[in-house]
Structure 1
Amino acid sequence: MRARVLATLLLTVTALTLAGCGTDTDEPASGGTPVPSGSGAAGTPSRTSDADAATAPDSLRFTGSTVDGRPFDGATLAGKPTVLWFWAPWCPKCRAQAAETAKVAEDFAGKANIVGVAGLDKPTAMKDFVASTKVDGFPNLSDEPGEIWRKFEISEQSTYVLLDKDGKTVFTGNLPAGKGLADKVGELIG
């Protein structure tokens, strides 16, 4: 069993590494298409109670740790539109998306959740990326084992996943330099 898990992880990491830094287009990544949707907190969500976690949609039933080691429960995101930004510290396209992602987090604070999900490197590199790109205004998770990446079927970094307030995926794809992210989040909050 352990060998199978390690083999799956190795294949995932290899595929992500070979994918480079995503594409130069704003086309949705495979497996996702834009879908219009309805309404909604940047900041740092905290742990939820068991009752809250039970009412969270399946898409938000995940846990992890922030790059600075604090526990994180995806169920805290329930009820508001959510942007999950999958990035890698060494990815120049991710670095180019950082400023716009931070601006969107600031502009939509209290109305939408913005969460970075770092992978494909070590926690120290993830912390350095957060500090150097100034994306510390919203939670950034350290997903070194790739569990959250697999949950959302992410196969390349610099990918955004947008969830409506009910946790339904309405967009999965790359937005070069984050352009268009504010419009997509604005549509979700109404």
Structure 2
Amino acid sequence: MRRSTIIGLAAAAMLTLAACGSGETTSSSATTSTSTAPTAAASSDAPQGEAEAVSVPKQLQFTSKTTAGATFEGASLAGKPAVVWFWAPWCHICKGEAPRVRDAAKSSGVSFLGVAALDDVEPMKGFVEEFDLDFPNLADTKAAVWARFGVTSQPSYAFISADGDVDVVAGALSASELDSRIAKIAG
């Protein structure tokens, strides 16, 4: 077997063993400073046709497919506050969190991205439809995006500030905890 296949299988096995999150909320204090080359990204405040260079954190340097089959560039989240929610379609805790994540995405004014793993695309699509998640949700069937963020269980979150600091939090968050962390990155 090729080395990348073995590594991928090992990562998938590790994630499968993680099962459905423990319910504990722990911050990994994984605030990372970005040492990546700037990438041009259009600012929503800039006049049309002007682009402003933003630094893209290494965690956002990926291309993946959404549950609907569209291509998603992680770098599109750079330069603005964003929440990345890691979930699995069979996870009961994730099902309990889905309505509050959906509501926060609609009301917060920050970008949201869901990253589903540990299952096939069809159950992921069903979860997105069941909970009316109208923000992009990736079908991370090989858990490659999970690995970029160091996520080993679901639910987990990554809170990304506009300047590229990334804080990964493992475990479920109450509505007030989620709102507080969003307010912190929204500045």
Structure-1-length-normalised TM-score: 0.81
Distance in 1, Cα, partners of 2:95 & 2:183: 23
The superposition leaves residues 112-135 of structure 1 with CA deviations (integer Å, 9 ceiling, x where unpaired) of 111000111111111001011221
Which 5+ residue runs of structure 2 have no aligned equivalent?
Answer: 32-38, 43-52
Give the aligned partner of residue 18 of structure 1: 17
Give the aligned partner of residue 33 of structure 1: 29
Do 1:100 and 1:178's aligned partners in 2 also have CA atoms closer than 8 Å?
yes
Do 2:24 and 2:172's aligned partners in 1 also have CA atoms closer than 8 Å?
yes
% same residue: 34
Distance in 2, Cα, partners of 1:80 & 1:161: 13
Which 5+ residue runs of structure 1 have no aligned equivalent?
Answer: 36-49
Where does 1:123-162 land on structure 2 (aligned, <5 Å)? 123-135=121-133, 137-162=134-159
Larger Rg: 2
The reply to whether residue 52 of structure 1 matches residue 51 of structure 2 is: no
Q: Which has the higher contact order (CA 8 A, sep 6+)?
A: 1
Tell me which amino acid in the other structure corresponds to 2:29.
Answer: T
Where does 1:65-76 land on structure 2 (aligned, <5 Å)? 65-76=65-76
Do 2:116 and 2:141's aligned partners in 1 also have CA atoms closer than 8 Å?
yes
Structure 1 residue 177 displacement after superposition? 5.3
Tell me which amino acid in the other structure corresponds to 1:99.
Answer: P
Tell me which amino acid in the other structure corresponds to 2:158.
Answer: V
Do 1:66 and 1:141's aligned partners in 2 also have CA atoms closer than 8 Å?
yes
Structure 1 residue 107 displacement after superposition? 0.8
Distance in 2, Cα, partners of 1:67 & 1:178: 25
Give the aligned partner of residue 79 of structure 2: 79
Tell me which amino acid in the other structure corresponds to 2:60.
Answer: L
Where does 1:117-128 land on structure 2 (aligned, <5 Å)? 117-128=115-126
Secondary structure of 1:141's aligned partner: strand
RMSD, aligned α-carbons:
2.1
Tell me which amino acid in the other structure corresponds to 2:139.
Answer: S
The superposition leaves residues 5-38 of structure 1 with CA deviations (integer Å, 9 ceiling, x where unpaired) of 222122211111111111121122xxx2276xxx
Which protein is richer in strand relative to its size? 2
The superposition leaves residues 122-167 of structure 1 with CA deviations (integer Å, 9 ceiling, x where unpaired) of 11111001011221x2110111121111111111121111111122
Secondary structure of 2:2's aligned partner: helix
Structure 1 residue 51 displacement after superposition? 3.9
Structure 1 residue 108 displacement after superposition? 1.4
